[in-house]
Structure 1
Amino acid sequence: MGASGAVGATTSSGDAPITLSQAPPRTLGLRDTAGLWGNLGISLLLPVAATYVVLADHPLSVTIGAIVVGAVIGSVLLGLGAAAGAREGVPAMVLMRGLLGRRTSFLPTAFNLVQCVGWAAFEVWIIAEAASRALDAPRWPFVLAAGALATLMALRPLGAVRVLARYAVWAALAAIVYLYIQVLSEPLPAVTEVGAASFWTAADIVIALPVSWFPLAADYTRHVRRGRDAFVGATAGYGAATIALFTLGALALVAYGRGGLDVVDALLAVPLGLLAVLVLLVVAVDEAFANIYSTAVSAQNVMARLDRRMLAVLVGVLATGLALTADLVAYEPFLFLIGAVFVPLVGVFVVAYWLLPHGRWDVSDTAPARPALLLAWAAGFVAYQLTLPTFFPGPGGVWTAWWSSRQAELGIDPANGWSASLVGLAVAAALTTLVWLPGGLSARRRGDWSKALR
C-alpha cells in the first residue's frame, strides 16, 4: 500500500522530509524502532502517575498485574498505528485521511496540535521541575535548556532517533536497573490509604499512556522499512518501558510512602540516586522532542508545503514559553481530556484499517469525507465520559459535574470500576463496524473494495 497523491521525490538529506510533498526515506529497522519507543516510554511522568495506579488493600502483585495488562493493551494499539504508518509511508494525521477524508481529517489534526504543544510544554516543565529539585537550583534555566535541546532534536529527527536507539536507551536502562535495586532493598509494606478504585481503573490509567502516542506514531514509523518491524518495535519498546516505569513508581510509593512528585524526592535520596535521576531526565527530553516534531508534521496535513523545520522552531519556542509561564499542573486535566478524545478514534481506525475490508487506503488530497465515522468516534467519546468523566478540580469542575449528572440520570454508578478506555474503544469499534460493513459487503459483490470507503 502506498501514499499515492501525498508524497513525491525522496528528500536528499537522508533525514525526515522537509515538506509533505517529499517521500520519507525508509532507513529505520527493528532495533531503531524499538530503541525509539523504549526511550519515548521513559518519563518521570510514569512513576509520578503510579500514585493513581496502586490498589489499596490489595497485594502489590495485583497492582503489577493491572500495570502489565494496561501496558499490553495500550502498546498493542500503539503498535497497530505504528505498523499502518510503515505500510502507508505517511504521517499519522495524513493517515487519518483514509479514515475520515482529507478535510474531515483536519478535526483530529486540530486536536493533535493542541495536545502535542501541551504535552511538549508539560514534559519540559516536569524535566525542569525534577532537575530543580535534584540540584536545588532555580527551575527556569532547566526549562530553557530542555526546550532548546528538544527543539534541536526536532530539526534532525532521524539523527535523534539513531542516537536514542544506540546510546540513550542503554544509559536509561542502567539507571532504571540501579533504582530498582535500591527500591527493592527496602521493606514493602501493604498499601492501605492511597490507590486506584479497581483493577480496571488502574489499568485504564496505564492504557492511556501508550494510546496517547497513537496520533504521533506514524510520524516516525513512516521511515521504518517493514510494517512488522514497526509493530514489534513500538509494542515491545513502549510496552516494556511502561511496565518498568509504572512498576518502579508503585514500588517507590510502597517502599517510601510517598507519591506524586514526592516519588522523585524519594528516588533522589537513595545512594547515587541523583546521578540515576539526572540520566533519566536527560533521556526524557526525547518526549518533548517527539511532541514538537509531531506538531510540525501534523500541521503539514493542512498545509503540505510548510517547512517542518521552521514549524519546529516556532513550536519549540511556544512550548518553552508555556513551561516558563503557564500553570501546567492545572492544565494537565485538559491534556487528559484531549487524550480521551483520541481513545475512541483509535478504536475506529484499528477496526476500519485492520479488521474490515477496504481497497487502497486513500490518503490523497481528494480523499472523500466519511461523516458517519465521526458519529462512531463521538459515541465512543460519550461512552468514555459516561464511564469515567475527566476530572477537573475546583471551579473548573463544570465538565466533571455535568457528566456526573448524566451518570446519575442513566443510573451509572460513578464507582463502577470499569475501564473507560475499553468501554470507549468497544463502542467506537462496534459502531464503526455497523457503519462500514454494509458498504464493504456491497463493494465486495461488485469486486471493488475501494468503493466501500466512499
Structure 2
Amino acid sequence: MSMLGADRATASSTDAPITLSEPPPRTLDLRDTTGLWGNLGVSLLLPVAATYVVLADRPLSVTIGAIVVGAVVGSVLLGLGAAAGAREGVPAMVLMRGLLGRRTSYLPTALNLLQCVGWAAFEVFIIAEAASRVLGAPRWPFVVAAGVLATLMALRPLRAVRVLARYAVWAALAAIVYLFVEVLSEPLRPVAEGGAASFWTAADIVIALPVSWFPLAADYTRHVRGGRTAFAGAAVGYGAATVALFTLGVLALAAYGRAGLDVMDALLAVPFGLIAVLVLLVVEVDEAFANVYSTAVSAQNVVPRLDRRVLAVVVGVVATGIALSVDLIAYEPFLFLIGAVFVPLVGVFVVAYWLLPRGAWDVSETAPARPLLLMAWAAGFVAYQLTLPTFFTGPGAGWTAWWAARQAELGIDPASGWSASLVSLGVAAGLTALLSSPGAVRARRAAVR
C-alpha cells in the first residue's frame, strides 16, 4: 500500500471518510449527536433576531408559544433528514440522488454550495464583529482566527464533534443559564413594538432556523449508529437550543427595552456578562466549521474522488476572504432566499422518503432522474414567495416588487399572517403525494405506451 493510501485508510478509520467511495465509521451515539446539534443551535444571532418574533401588545407567553411551536415543527423536519442520513449512510446531497436522480441532484448541490460558503463567511463575520465590539479591538484578527479555527475543525470533523458534545455544550449551557438568571432578575415590561404580524409569522421565522440545516444534516448523522438516535439527537438538541436562545432574546427585550444588536450590549452590561458572551462566541465557531465541512462534502456529490481535506482548506480560505472583504449584512437576504428554496425541498423529501411506498433508496451513480418532483419543489418555492416574498433593498428590490405585484394580481393579502414555511411545505408535500400516487404512476405509464 502506498503512503498516501495508508494515510487515507488510517484517517478513514478514525474520522470521516476522505472521499465519497469510503464507508463512514458509525461512531456517534446519542450523547454525541444531541451535543452536536445543541451546539449548532446555540447562536448569538437568535437573541439579536428575537425582535422579529415578538408579538406587540400581546402577553409574552404568546410569543414564547410561537417560538416553541416553530422550534418543534422545524426540529422534527430536521430530525427526519438526520434519521434518513443515518439509515442510508451517505451525505445530504448524495441522499438527494434518491429523490431527484444523480445528475438532477447537482441542482440542490449547487445551491447548497452557495448557501454553505455564504453562511460560513457570515458566521465568521458575526463572530468577529461581536468579539470586536466586546473587546474593543479591530475586527480583522478575529476574522482570521475564527476562519482558521473553523477550517482546522473541518479537517477532523468527528473529533470536533466529540469535543463539542462532551465539553463545549456544557460551557454553552452554563453561560445560557447564567444569562437567563440575570435577565429574569429584572422586571419584565410589556413589549409595545414587535416584528411579527401574527402568531404564525412569528413561528415561521423560528421554523426557518432548523430547516436551514436540513441540507447539511446527513453529512454528520451518516456517522450515527441508528436512525432513531439521529432523529432524537438532532430534533431535541437543536430544538431545545432554538427555544432557549430565542426566548432569552425576547426576555431581554422585555427586561431592558433594547432590540437587535443592542440586546448584546444589554447582556454585556450584566455582572460577568462579558465572560458569558465570550463563551457563546467561542462556541459559535462550530457553525462556521459545520458550513465549511458541509461545503466540502457537498462538492463530493459531483467530484466523489476529491480529498475533502483539500476542499475544506479551499473553502475555509474563501469564506475567510469573503468575511474580510464583503458587506455580508447586505448579502444576508440572498442567503435567506436560498434558504427559502430548500424549505419546499424538505416537504418533497419527507413525503417521498418517509410516507410513500418505495424500494431501496437509490443513491448510486446511476440513480434515475425524477423530473416530476422538480415540479413539486418549484411549486412549493412559488407558494413561499407568494405568501412572503424574500425582502430585498437596493439592487435586489425588483425581486420583492415583482412578487408583491403577483400577490396583488391573485388577491393575496400580504398581511394575512400565514406561515410561508408551512404553506410552502404543504404545497410541495401535497404535490409530491399526488404525483407519486399509484393512479398517477399508472396514468404516466399508460401514456408512455
TM-score normalised by length of structure 1: 0.94
Aligned equivalents of 2:40, 2:119: Cα separation in 1? 13
Residue of structure 2 equivalent to 1:172: 172
Aligned equivalents of 2:301, 2:357: Cα separation in 1? 25
Aligned equivalents of 2:383, 2:47: Cα separation in 1? 28
1:77-105 Cα deviation digits (max 9, x unpaired) = 00000000000000000000000000000
Residue of structure 1 equivalent to 2:5: none
Aligned equivalents of 2:64, 2:264: Cα separation in 1? 20
Residue of structure 2 equivalent to 1:281: 281
1:137-190 Cα deviation digits (max 9, x unpaired) = 111111111110000000000000000000000000000000001111111111
Aligned equivalents of 1:107, 1:195: Cα separation in 2? 34
1:200-249 Cα deviation digits (max 9, x unpaired) = 00000000000000000000000000100000000000000000000001
Residue of structure 1 equivalent to 2:357: 357
SS for the counterpart of 1:267 is: helix
Query: Which structure 2 residues correspond to residues 161-240 of structure 1 after superposition, within 5 A?
Result: 161-240=161-240
Residue of structure 2 equivalent to 1:109: 109
TM-score normalised by length of structure 2: 0.95
Contact kept? 1:11, 1:24, Cα under 8 Å: no
Contact kept? 1:10, 1:17, Cα under 8 Å: no
Contact kept? 1:10, 1:22, Cα under 8 Å: no
Aligned equivalents of 1:284, 1:142: Cα separation in 2? 13
Deviation at 1:12, TM superposition (A): 4.0
Contact kept? 1:380, 1:428, Cα under 8 Å: yes
Residue of structure 2 equivalent to 1:343: 343
Contact kept? 1:153, 1:160, Cα under 8 Å: yes
Aligned equivalents of 1:223, 1:13: Cα separation in 2? 12
Structure 1, 159-168 or 43-52: larger mean CA deviation: 43-52
Deviation at 1:395, TM superposition (A): 4.1
Deviation at 1:301, TM superposition (A): 0.1
Letter in 1 for 2:372: A
Residue of structure 1 equivalent to 2:405: 405
Letter in 2 for 1:107: L
Letter in 1 for 2:275: L
SS for the counterpart of 2:418 is: coil
Contact kept? 2:384, 2:423, Cα under 8 Å: yes
Aligned equivalents of 2:11, 2:188: Cα separation in 1? 54
SS for the counterpart of 2:436 is: helix
- Percent identical among aligned pairs is 84
Aligned equivalents of 2:375, 2:91: Cα separation in 1? 24
Contact kept? 1:11, 1:23, Cα under 8 Å: no
1:312-344 Cα deviation digits (max 9, x unpaired) = 000001111111111000000110000000000
Letter in 2 for 1:155: L
Count the aligned residue pairs.
436
Contact kept? 1:51, 1:260, Cα under 8 Å: yes
Aligned equivalents of 1:168, 1:83: Cα separation in 2? 24
Letter in 1 for 2:386: L
Residue of structure 2 equivalent to 1:63: 63
| Runs of 4+ deviating beyond 3 Å | 9-13, 439-443
SS for the counterpart of 2:191 is: coil
Contact kept? 2:66, 2:200, Cα under 8 Å: yes
SS for the counterpart of 1:366 is: coil
Contact kept? 2:74, 2:209, Cα under 8 Å: yes
Query: Which structure 2 residues correspond to residues 90-105 of structure 1 after superposition, within 5 A?
Result: 90-105=90-105
Contact kept? 1:333, 1:390, Cα under 8 Å: yes
Structure 2: any 5+ residue segments left out of the alignment?
A: 1-8, 444-449
Task: Kindly report the root-mean-square deviation, in angstroms, between the aligned alpha carbons of the 2 structures.
Answer: 1.4
